[in-house]
Amino acid sequence: MKQICNAVACTLLLLPVFAPRPAQAAEVPAVGQQAPDFSAPSQDGTPVSLKSFRGKWTVLYFYPKDMTRGCTIEAHNFQQDLPKYQAQNAVIVGVSVDSSDSHKEFCAKESLTFRLVADTDKKIVDQYGSLGGNGVANRNTFLIDPTGKIVKVWTSVNPTHHSEEVLAALPK
């Protein structure tokens, strides 16, 4: 019996050494790279794909959670500045791991009119190196030119002034 216990204890001690390691999160795509394409449902359930915005500047921003303080501030600022973006041939697309229903509720409550993409399977946040250790999206933004190339990347953004930063990066 003692030998069995020792064998079990030894196996348990070695398990972390031989256990498969979780896959590393993808790297944040670099400036100059083609932006990874995706297709996922928006707040109204219709699919949104990055390629559908070709010919326009695209502000693809990742945020942690609908109806939380920082995410609401960031969304309000993008919404407030939306006419300025539209004047520069730019669209705003938000992505979080929340569901379409959550996005729908968030948009209705906060009067948001731009697209919020539901990435419940976390594929998009992973493609963009924006999946946080806690299972939600990190607050990162990618400015994508009309040909689909990434021209600017912001990581760990401050939601309070971020829309202004993005507007300043758009060509006049």
- The catalytic site residues sit at 71
HSE at residue 9, side-chain half, CA atoms within 13 A, is 6
Close Cβ partners of 8 (under 8 Å, ≥ 6 residues apart): none
CB 44 within 8 A of CB 105: no
Close Cβ partners of 160 (under 8 Å, ≥ 6 residues apart): 73, 77
Q: How far is CA 126 from CA 27, 32, 133, in A?
A: 8, 19, 11
Q: Residue 109 has which token pair?
A: 């409550």
Would you give the end-to-end CA distance of the chain in angstroms? 78
Residue-by-residue DSSP string for 12-23: HHHHHHHSPPPP
